[in-house]
Amino acid sequence: MKAAVIKKPGVIVVEDVATPKPADGEVLLKVEACALCGTDQRVLKGEKHVDVPIVGHEITGTVFETGKGVKGIKKGERYAVQTVIGCGGCPLCKVHQENLCEKGFKAIGYQWNGGFAEYMIMPKVGVDQGCLVPISKKMSAEAGTLIEPLSCCVNGMRHIPFEKGGHVVVFGGGIIGVLNALVAKARGAKEVTIMDVSQERLDLHRKLKLPFDNLVNTMKVNPVEWVKEKTKGRGVDAVVVAASVKSIVPLGFKILARSGHLSIFAGMPKSDPVEQIDLNLIHYLELHVHGANSSVQRDYLEARDLIESGKINADSLVTHKFGLDDFNKAVEVQGNPSSGAMKVVINF
C-alpha cells in the first residue's frame, strides 16, 4: 500500500509499505479520506513527538478485513475513527471519559499508525472501547473526517447552556473556532460572533457563507469596547478561546456577562502557559470556567448526528482535496494562511 511516511522532521515521503494484517480482535480499514489538522503540522515539522511514522487522525474508512474474534463489525461497513484510547481500568475510563484517562490516553496517529495511508489498523483495545463510529452511506468521506474535530468542540461546549439562547464570542477564526461556533448555533445560540486578527480568515467566512452574525477584526476593533457597545454594557453569555494565545483568557473574562461561561478550548504553549487573571471577576460575577481536552464516544455520536441531520454542513468547510501522491502539497496549502484553506482533506 501507499503511505505518507515521516522520514525525519520536515521530510515526508509517499512510498510503498507493507499492508498491515489484522491480528485477533483487530479491524483493517480501507481509508476513504483523512484530513489534515494543525497538530499534524506540528508533528510533521518535528515540533511534537509521536511514536509512529504514519500520522493522521481525522479518518473515514471502510472495513476491509476483521481479525479473529471481532463481532458486530462487518466488511464493507463505514466508520469514522475515534482517536483517543484509554487504559480501560482507571475510574474515568470506566465511565467512558477516556480523554481524561488517569494513566494518560493513547491515540490513533500518535501511538498507532494513522490515516495517511491506504489501509490502517484499529487495534483491539480501540475495537473493544468502541472507537469505530458507524456512519451512513449517504455521508461523504470528506464530511466523515470532520467528525473528529467536531466531536472535540461538542465536548468543549457540553457544559455551556446554549439552549437558553444568548450571545457567544469565539476567539479564533480557523477551523476549530468555526466548528465551535457552528456547535453553538446548532445548540440554540441566538447570536454568534467570531473575533480574529486575520482579515483574510474573516473574508473566507463570508466567501463560504458561514452562518455567523458578526465578524470582528480585533486588529482594528477593541473587543472589550465592541462588546460593551453591542450588549449595552451587559456582556456576552459565553466566550470560547479557540486560539492558543494566553492573553485572550483574561480578555474573555472582561467581556462576559454575569453568570457567563468561558471555555478554554485551545491549549497554550507548554513553555509559557501562565497568565494573570482577575479572580474577583470569577468570584463576584459567578463566572463559569471550562476546559476541553479531546473527546469520547458520546461526543463523536453527537457530532455525527449534527452532520447527518444537516444542522452542520461539514462538506461546505472542505475547501481543498488532494490525492495521497500530493500529500506534501496539501501540507503546504493547509499551512499557508493566504491559501484560502479552511479544511484540507486527503482522498483515497
Q: Per residue in 172-204, pLDDT tens?
A: 999 999 999 999 999 999 999 999 999 999 999
- CA 195: distance to chain centroid? 19
Q: Per residue in 216-255, pLDDT tens?
A: 999 999 999 999 999 999 999 999 999 999 999 999 999 9
Extents of the domains making up the chain: 2-146+314-347, 159-291
**CA–CA dist 227, 339 (Å, integer):** 31
pLDDT of 165 reads 85
Mean pLDDT computed over every residue of the chain: 97
Q: Averaged over 30-46, what is the pLDDT?
A: 95
**CA–CA dist 322, 196 (Å, integer):** 28
Q: How many CB atoms lie within 10 A of CB 146?
A: 30
Do the first three CATH levels of 2-146+314-347 and 159-291 match, i.e. the same topology?
Answer: no
pLDDT of 210 reads 97
Q: Per residue in 46-77, pLDDT tens?
A: 999 999 999 999 999 999 999 999 999 999 99
11 burial (CB, 10 Å; 0-12 / 13-18 / 19+) is exposed
Q: If pLDDT is split at 50, 70 and 90, which confidence band does 29 have?
A: very high
CATH of 2-146+314-347, one of 3.40.710.10, 3.40.50.300, 3.90.180.10, 3.20.20.100: 3.90.180.10
What are the residues whose beta carbons fall under 8 Å from the beta carbon of 145, sequence distance 6 or more?
Answer: 33, 34, 35, 58, 59, 60, 80, 343, 345
What fold is seen in the domain 159-291?
Rossmann fold (3.40.50)
Q: How many CB atoms lie within 10 A of CB 322?
A: 18
